[in-house]
Amino acid sequence: MKQHLFEMVICAFAAITLMVVHELAKILVYMGLQKKAGVKKKYNHSIWAVYRYIDPVGVILSVTSQVVLSKPFMFRIQNKKYNRILGITGFFVLLFCFFGNLYAIKMHMFGVQGMKVVTSAGILKEAGGLYIQYMALLSVGMFLTNLFPVSTFDMGLLIAGFSSKKYLGIIKMDAVIKLIYVLALLVDLFYIWAYHIFQFALSIL
């Protein structure tokens, strides 16, 4: 029971890290684009208030389904190019987290040996080993989640970046898309695919 709770805490911590990194990277890129264009804009709150990116539902889903949802920084982007760049940034960050932590696993950091963590190395090393494993697995789960054409997801940003008409279409179909998303969650599709991708990537590196 203690070990199970310990792993849940590490998983939740990894999920929170991903939420913050994913959203903070996008807002930093957006601010960089605004600065480059000579636009000075004030925001209602600091971008460094990272707790605003943490979604409690996403934390629960990370533990139960290996799926991470984050709260996006609420700003409206009318520039199609910006939407495309931010959508690509979101996906890139998740891939970077995945392959970075996968490399750490292959290097046996914190005593990790493939899908196993050496528990005799001490609690800090065990926590570190579990953390990089969950970071890799949750990165894939979050990547798959963002492939869904939900308006606030990375795929939604990409669609908005290419076609306003199609973006309006996914907003109109929002309820149906989210229903399909929930059904995919219920049958553990994200976890199954994330786990297989994780195993496959681990075997070829």
DSSP conformation letters of 31-83: HHHHHHTT-----SS-TT-GGGGB-HHHHHHHHHHS---B---------HHHH
pLDDT category at 18 given cuts 50, 70, 90 is very high
- Whether 4 contacts 23, CB under 8 Å: no
Average pLDDT over residues 162-180: 90
For the chain, how far is it from start to end, CA to CA, in angstroms? Answer: 34
Check whether 164 has a pLDDT greater than 90. Answer: no
Q: Of 9-13, 40-44, 62-66, 188-192, give the lowest mean pLDDT range.
A: 40-44
Average pLDDT of span 1-28 = 91
Section 87-109 average pLDDT: 92
Percent of the chain's residues with pLDDT above 70: 92
> For residue 109, what pLDDT band results from cuts at 50, 70 and 90?
confident
Task: Give residue 96's pLDDT.
Answer: 96
Quote the CA–CA distance of 103 and 23 in Å, as a whole number: 23
CA–CA distance, 103 with 97 (Å, rounded to integer): 10
Whole-angstrom distance, CA of residue 205 vs CA of residue 193: 18
Q: What is the DSSP string of 138-204?
A: HHHHHHHHHTS--TTSHHHHHHHHH-HHHHHHHHHTHHHHHHHHHHHHHTTHHHHHHHHHHHHHHHH
Would you say 13 and 5 are in contact if contact means Cβ atoms under 8 Å apart?
no
- The partner residues of 70 in beta bridges, in order of sequence, read 54
The per-residue pLDDT for 51 is: 86
